Amino acid sequence: MKLAIFDEQRCGVIDGHEIVDVTAAVPHHDPDPFGAGWWVRLVRDFDSLRGALEELAAAGPRQRLADVRLHPAVLNPPKLLAAAANYAAHVEEGLAHVERLQYLDAGSVEWMKNFGVFLKSTSSIVGPDDDVLIPADRLEAGIETHHESELAVVIGREGRDIAEADALDHVFGYTLGLDISLREPTDRSFRKSFDTFTPIGPCVTTADEIPDPGKLQIRLDLDGHVRQDCNTADLLVSVPGIIAYASQAMTLYPGDVILTGAPPGVGLIEPGQLMTTSIEGIGTMRNAIRVRSAARA
């Protein structure tokens, strides 16, 4: 099932080029995005709700996808985590970027090669058709902003110290995420957390439709030119490995989102360009790049 959130925070099931409104089968639904956490509860209780959702998905009101506004496929996730240095070829190109931009000292460069998991702000999340805004002062200072296109995992079942062998049992589903990153010498959790720096969507595909997250093709085109075209088979630490690693430190809760790391091919994005990103079995996002100029109160 491909679950999406659209228009007045309605819950929908994507079926080809159409979306079916299944909100009536969602308990505690609240159109206020700061409402009672209905999406997290839906993820947590999905097994018991699936029957009603499927029934409504077959019979409910349909609209053309093109006629609705899709919101981020996740709503107020408790945590937004991301893996670093998780494709060998990206680690190599990252070091090359660092050398060219002369950002970091030798110790930091060494540190960058290591796999790790860090937090991004959940307020950086935007939808699959929303703009990515680059701060004007960074543009003026010549600081580069890069795209990273990543498979994202949505946790369904709470757990801590999860064994790798059990990890996929804790997955609710998968979605597509961009981890937009300023290449500046500030902490990862800061330079990747600017508003709009984490487009997520167009849907969460439930895990039953993606039995093996380790063989998905990810592709990002910039203005129609291929930038990233890679398979999750090349992840250095697999999806189960990332879940096991993160859960050593923190309990993973239903609705938590984990970006799995950037494939090779990251690069500069500039205002006026358009990113088209897709993962097989999930869908496509189209995010235009613009300048964030005026200060917001």
Q: CB 149 → Mn ion: shortest distance, Å?
A: 9
Find the part of the chain contacting Mn ion (CB under 5 A) among 68-76, 91-99, 118-126, 142-150.
142-150
Q: Closest separation between CB of residue 84 and Mn ion, Å?
A: 7
Least Cβ distance, residue 180 to Mn ion (angstroms):
9
Q: Is 12:21 a contact under the CB 8 Å cutoff? A: yes
Q: Rounded distance, CA 73 to CA 204, Å?
A: 6
Among 148, 178, 198, 289, binds Mn ion (CB under 5 A): 148
Please give the residues from 12 up to 71 whose contact with Mn ion meets the rule CB under 5 A.
none
Hey, which residues between 256 and 275 contact Mn ion (CB under 5 A)?
Answer: 262
Give residue for tokens 């981020």: 72
Structure tokens at 292: 């964030």
Q: How far is CA 228 from CA 193, 219, 263, 287, in A?
A: 22, 5, 7, 15
| Cβ atoms of residues 63 and 22 within 8 Å | no
End-to-end CA distance of the chain: 39
Question: Smallest distance from the beta carbon of 78 to Mn ion, in angstroms?
Answer: 20
Question: At closest approach, how far in Å is the CB of 225 from Mn ion?
Answer: 21
Q: Which is nearer to Mn ion, 144 or 179 (CB)?
A: 179
**DSSP state for residue 146 in the 8-state scheme:** E
Q: Which of 214, 217, 232, 234 is nearest to 277 (CA)?
A: 217
Closest among 4, 125, 24 to 70, alpha carbons compared:
4
**Is residue 221 at the binding interface for Mn ion, with CB under 5 A as the rule?**
no
CB 173 within 8 A of CB 99: no
226 conformational bin, left if phi > 0, alpha if psi -120 to 50, beta if neither = beta
Per CB under 5 A, the list member of 21, 130, 144, 179 interacting with Mn ion is 179
Asked if residues 133 and 160 have their Cβ atoms less than 8 Å apart, the reply is no
Least Å distance, CB 82 to Mn ion, is 5
The region of 52-60, 143-151, 224-232, 241-249 touching Mn ion under the rule CB under 5 A is: 143-151
Kindly state whether residue 277 participates in binding Mn ion, applying the rule CB under 5 A. Answer: no
State in angstroms the smallest separation of the CB of 230 from Mn ion.
Answer: 13
Are 254 and 44 in contact by the 8 Å Cβ rule? The answer is: yes
Identify which of residues 148 and 221 has a Cβ nearer to Mn ion in the complex. Answer: 148
Among the listed ranges 11-19, 131-139, 175-183, 287-295, the one in contact with Mn ion (CB under 5 A) is: 175-183
Give the residues lining the site for Mn ion (CB under 5 A). Answer: 148, 179, 262
